[in-house]
Amino acid sequence: MKAMATRALAKLAKGNSAIVPSIAESSVLLILAVNLEKGTKDVQLQSAEALMEITAVAEEDAELRTSALYRNSPARKSIVDQLVIKITDEKEDPELLIPCIKAVGNLATTFEATDTRMIVDPLLRLLHETNNFVTKNACIALTKFACTSNYFHVEVSKAIIIAGAATQLIRLFYFGHWNVQLHPLVLICYIAIHVPGSEELAQAKVLAVLKWAPKHHYFTDHEKLNKLFYAALDVPENEVAEAEACVHATYGWELQ
Does residue 198 fall inside a structural domain?
yes
- For the whole model, what pTM was predicted? 0.88
Question: If phi over 0 gives left and psi between -120 and 50 gives alpha, with beta otherwise, what is residue 164?
Answer: left
**Co-location of 150 and 104 in the same domain:** no
**Co-location of 34 and 104 in the same domain:** yes
Does residue 122 fall inside a structural domain?
no
pLDDT, tens digit, 9 for 90 and up, residues 179-227:
898 899 899 999 999 998 888 888 888 878 877 777 666 665 666 677 7
Does residue 117 fall inside a structural domain?
no
**Co-location of 76 and 142 in the same domain:** no
**Co-location of 141 and 87 in the same domain:** no
Share of the chain above pLDDT 70, in %: 87
pLDDT, tens digit, 9 for 90 and up, residues 48-104:
999 999 999 999 999 999 888 888 889 999 999 999 999 999 888 999 999 999 999
Does residue 115 fall inside a structural domain?
no
Tally of helices (H runs) and strands (E runs) in the chain = 16, 0
Q: Report which of 190, 191, 198, 111 is spatially closest to residue 152, judged by C-alpha positions.
A: 111
Domains: count for the chain? 2
Cα separation, 54 vs 29, in Å, equals 9
Q: Which domain holds residue 148?
A: 135-256
Q: Is the model's pLDDT at 247 over the cut of 80? A: no
**Co-location of 244 and 142 in the same domain:** yes
Q: How confident is the model at residue 229 (pLDDT cuts 50, 70, 90)?
A: confident
**Co-location of 22 and 106 in the same domain:** yes
Q: Report which of 31, 19, 102 is spatially closest to residue 64, judged by C-alpha positions.
A: 19
Cα separation, 243 vs 237, in Å, equals 10
Share of the chain above pLDDT 90, in %: 59
Residue 114: DSSP 8-state: G
Q: Report which of 178, 197, 101, 198 is spatially closest to residue 142, judged by C-alpha positions.
A: 101
**Co-location of 96 and 144 in the same domain:** no
Cα separation, 76 vs 244, in Å, equals 28
Residue 108: DSSP 8-state: G
Cβ atoms within 10 A of the Cβ of 37, count? Answer: 14
Q: Report which of 127, 122, 113, 253 is spatially closest to residue 186, judged by C-alpha positions.
A: 253
pLDDT of residue 256: 41
Q: Is the model's pLDDT at 249 over the cut of 70? A: no
Does residue 10 fall inside a structural domain?
yes
pLDDT of residue 76: 92
Handedness of CA 229, 233, 235, 236 (dihedral sign): negative
